[in-house]
Structure 1
Amino acid sequence: MRRPTLLGALGVVVLLSAGCGIPAASDVRVDGKGEAATKAGRVDGPGSEPPTRTASGSLNEVFVRNFLSAAAGEPDRAYERVKAFIAPEDKPSLQDKKGSEVALNVVRLREAVYTLNSDSTTTVKITVQQIGVLRANGILAPPVATETQYEFGLRSAAFDSGVNDERAGLYVLDPPNVLLLSDEALKRYYQDESIYFWSSDRTRLVPDQRYRPLAVPDERRVNEVVKWLVGGPSDWLRPGVVGLPDGTELINNATGANGRWEVNLDMSGDDQNGIDQLITQLAWSLGDRPGELELKVRNNSQPVQDLDERRTFKPLYPNAVSPQRFGVYEGAIHPLDFGSELSGAVPLAPEANRTIVSADLALAKEQRVLAAMVVTGSSKSRYRLAVGTGTEPISVISRSSTEYSSISRPVWLRTVDSRPGRGLVVADGQLYRFDEAARMYPVPLNLPEVTAVAAALDGQRVALIAGGRLYVAAVNPDGGGVSIGPPRQLVTSLTGLTAVDWGREDRLVVAGSAGQPAIYEISVDGALETPLRTDVGAKVNHLTAYPTNRNVRVPSGAYMFEANGVAYRSSPFERIEHDRVRDIPPTPAGVRVSNPSAPFFLY
Structure 2
Amino acid sequence: MRRPTLVAALGVVVLLGGGCGIPAASDVRVDGKGGTATEAGAVNGPGNEPPTRTASGSVNEAFVRNFLSAAAGEPDRAYERVKAFIAPEHKSRLQEKKGSEVALNVVRLREAVYTLNSDSTTTVKITVQQIGVLRANGTLAPPVATETEYEFGIRSAALNGAVNDERAGLYIFDPPNVLLLSDAALRRYYQDESIYFWSSDRTRLVPDQRYRPLAVPEERRVNEVVKWLVGGPSDWLRPGVVGLPDRTELINNATGGNGRWEVNLDMSGDDQNGIDQLITQIAWSLGDLPGQLELKIRNNSLPVQDLSERRNSAQLYPIAESPQRFGLYEGAIHPLDFGSELSGTVPLAPEANRNIVSADLAMAKEQRVLAALVVTGSSDGRRRLAVGAGAAPVSVPFRSTSEYSSMSRPVWLRSVDARPGRGLVVADGQLYRFDESARMYRVPLNLPADVSAVAAALDGQRVALIAGGRLYVAAVNLDGGGVSIGPPRQLATSLTALTAVDWGSEDQLVVAGSVGQPAIYEISVDGALETPLRTDLGAKVNHLTAYPTNRIVRVPSGAYMYEANGVAYRSSPFERIEPGRVRDIAPVPAGVRPSNPSAPFFLY
Q: Is the pair's TM-score, using the shorter chain for normalization, greater than 0.5?
A: yes
- Note if 1:32 corresponds to 2:31: no
CA shift digits 1:488-518 (9 cap, x unpaired): 0000000000000000000000000011000
Separation (CA, whole Å) in 2 of partners of 1:86 and 1:298: 46
Q: Structure 1 residues 80-89 or 547-556, which shifts more? A: 547-556
Please name the residue that 1:360 is paired with: 360
Residue 466 of structure 1 pairs with residue 467 of structure 2: yes
What residue identity is the alignment partner of 1:473?
A: A
Q: What is residue 276 of structure 1 aligned with on the other side? A: 276
Equivalent pair of 2:386/2:401 in contact (CA under 8 Å)? no
The answer to whether residue 550 in structure 2 is matched with residue 542 in structure 1 is no
Shift of 1:399: 3.6
- 2: distance between equivalents of 1:596 and 1:38? 30
Separation in structure 2 between the aligned mates of residue 161 and residue 221 of structure 1, nearest angstrom: 46
Amino acid at match of 1:554: V
- Alignment-derived partner of residue 495 in structure 1: 496
For residues 411 and 327 of structure 2, the distance between their equivalents in structure 1, rounded to whole angstroms, comes to: 15
Structure 2: how far apart are the matches of 1:43 and 1:475?
34
The whole-number CA distance in structure 2 between the counterparts of 1:270 and 1:342 is 47
The one-letter code sitting in structure 2 at the alignment partner of 1:513 is S
Instruction: Tell me the SS of whatever aligns to 1:479.
Output: helix
If the length of structure 2 is used for normalisation, what is the TM-score? Answer: 0.94
Cα separation, 2, equivalents of 1:290 and 1:43: 23
CA–CA separation in structure 2 for the residues paired with 1:198 and 1:290: 22
Q: Helix, strand or coil for the counterpart of 2:446?
A: coil
What letter is aligned with 2:124? Answer: V
Q: 2 CA distance for matches of 1:59 and 1:572?
A: 41
* Structure 2 partner of 1:563: 564
- Residue 555 of structure 1: CA displacement? 4.1
Over residues 272-319 of structure 1, what are the superposed CA-to-partner deviations in whole Å (9 max), with x where a residue is unaligned?
Answer: 010000000000000000000000011111110110111111111133
Structure 1: distance between partners of 2:259 and 2:130: 41
Distance 1:172 1:347, change over 3 A: same
Other structure's SS at 2:222 match: helix
Q: In 2, Cα distance between the equivalents of 1:513 and 1:163?
A: 46
Equivalent residue number for residue 407 of structure 1: 407
Q: Are 1:189 and 1:215, in contact at CA under 8 Å, matched by a contact in 2?
A: yes
Q: Are the equivalent residues in 2 in contact too, given 1:323–1:555 (CA < 8 A)? A: no
Please state how far the C-alpha of 1:98 moved relative to its aligned partner: 1.6
Deviation string 1:307-356 (CA, Å, 9 cap, x unpaired) is 01111111111334310000010010000000010000000000000100
Instruction: Give, in angstroms, the shift of residue 379 of structure 1.
Output: 1.6
1:517-532 alignment runs, 5 A limit: 517-532=518-533
| CA shift for structure 1 position 396 | 2.3
Contact 1:260 1:291 in 2 (8 A): yes
Q: Which amino acid aligns with 1:598?
A: A
Deviation at 1:480, TM superposition (A): 2.2
The answer to whether structure 1 residue 304 and structure 2 residue 299 are counterparts is: no
Pairing of 1:321-336 with structure 2 (within 5 A)? 321-336=321-336
Tell me whether 1:505 sits opposite 2:500 in the alignment.
no
Q: Residue 158 of structure 1: CA displacement?
A: 1.1
Give the letter aligned to residue 145 of structure 1: A
Match of 1:113, as an amino acid? V
* Matched AA of 2:64: V
Is this contact kept in 1: 2:319–2:552, CA < 8 A? no
Aligned residue for 2:361, secondary structure, equals strand
Structure 2 partner of 1:98: 98
User: Alpha-carbon deviation of 1:434?
Assistant: 0.3
Aligned to 1:59: 59
Does the CA-based 8 Å contact 1:500-1:509 persist in structure 2? yes
Q: How far apart in 2 are the matches of 1:348 and 1:289?
A: 42
SS in 1 for 2:153: strand
* CA–CA separation in structure 2 for the residues paired with 1:451 and 1:460: 20
State whether residues 411 and 425 of structure 1, in contact with CA within 8 Å, keep that contact through their aligned partners in structure 2: yes
Distance 1:181 1:366, change over 3 A: same
Structure-1 residue corresponding to 2:444 = 444
Residues 225-304 of structure 1: pairs in structure 2 closer than 5 A: 225-304=225-304
Determine the structure 1 residue equivalent to 2:26.
Answer: none
Q: How does 1:47-126 map to 2 (within 5 A)?
A: 47-126=47-126
- Which residue does 2:369 correspond to in 1? 369
Q: CA deviation at 1:45?
A: 7.7
Change (3 A) 1:539 1:498: same
1:67-88 deviation per Cα after TM superposition (whole angstroms, max 9, x unaligned) = 0000000000000000000001
Q: For residues 39 and 406 of structure 2, what CA distance do their matches in structure 1 show?
A: 50
- Aligned-pair identity in percent equals 84
Residue 398 (structure 1) shift:
3.1
CA-based RMSD of the aligned residues comes to 1.8
Partner of 2:2: 7
Alpha-carbon distance in structure 2 between the residues aligned to 1:160 and 1:185: 33
Runs of 4+ off more than 4 Å:
35-39, 42-46, 160-164
- 1:530-556 Cα deviation digits (max 9, x unpaired): 000000110000000001101111247
Distance in 1 separating the partners of 2:180 and 2:211? 16
Deviation at 1:592, TM superposition (A): 1.2
Aligned residues: 584
1:412-451 matches, cutoff 5 A: 412-447=412-447, 448-451=449-452
Which residue of structure 2 lines up, in the alignment, with residue 152 of structure 1? 152
**Other structure's SS at 2:414 match:** coil
Larger deviation, residues 26-35 vs 49-58: 26-35
Partners in 2 of 1:254 and 1:397 — Cα distance? Answer: 58
Which protein has greater RCO, CA pairs closer than 8 Å, 6+ apart?
A: 2
1:554 alignment counterpart: 555
- 3-state SS, counterpart of residue 100 of structure 2: helix
- Give the corresponding residue for 2:222: 222
Q: Structure 1 pair 409/8, CA: closer, same or farther in 2 (3 Å)? A: farther
CA contact (8 A) 2:327 2:600 kept: yes
Q: Distance in 2 between matches of 1:590 and 1:525?
A: 51
| Alpha-carbon spacing, 1:468–1:320, altered in 2? closer, same or farther (3 Å) | farther
Asked if structure 2 preserves the Cα contact closer than 8 Å seen for 1:139 and 1:234, the reply is: yes
Deviates more, 1:246-255 or 1:545-554: 545-554
Counterpart residue number, 2:573 = 572
1:586 deviation in Å?
A: 1.3
Does the C-alpha gap of structure 1 residues 38 and 398 become closer, same or farther in structure 2, counting only changes over 3 Å? closer
Could you say if the C-alpha distance between residues 144 and 355 of structure 1 is closer, same or farther in structure 2, counting changes exceeding 3 Å? same
C-alpha distance after superposition, 1:76-128 (max 9, x if no partner): 00000000000011011111112111000000000000000011100000000
Give the AA of the match of 1:88: P
What SS is found at the alignment partner of 1:504?
coil
Q: Which one-letter code corresponds to 2:192 in the other structure?
A: D
Cα distance, 1:478 vs structure 2: 3.7
Aligned to 1:391: 391
Q: Give, as a single letter, the amino acid of the residue that structure 2 aligns with 1:429.
A: G
| Partner amino acid, structure 2, of 1:459 | G
Partners of 2:93 and 2:579 in 1: CA distance: 66
Q: Structure 1 residue 161: deviation in Å?
A: 8.4
Aligned to 1:584: 585
Could you list the per-position Cα deviations for residues 540-598 of structure 1 after superposition, in whole angstroms to 9, with x for gaps in the alignment? 00000001101111247500000000000000000000000001111121111000000
Give the gaps of 5 or more residues in structure 1: 1-5, 16-25
Structure 2 CA distance for partners of 1:556 and 1:94, relative to 1, 3 Å: closer
Aligned to 1:483: 484
Instruction: Name the structure 2 match of 1:3.
Output: none
Q: What SS class does the counterpart of residue 185 from structure 1 fall into?
A: helix
| Distance (Å, rounded) in 2 between the aligned partners of 1:218 and 1:401 | 54
- Offset at 1:43? 12
Displacement after TM superposition at 1:44 (Å): 11
Deviates more, 1:157-166 or 1:591-600: 157-166
Partners of 1:465 and 1:500 within 8 A in 2: yes
Q: Structure 1 residue 401: deviation in Å?
A: 3.5
Structure 1 residues 477, 556: CA separation in 2 closer, same or farther (over 3 Å shift)?
A: closer
Contact 2:319 2:553 in 1 (8 A): no
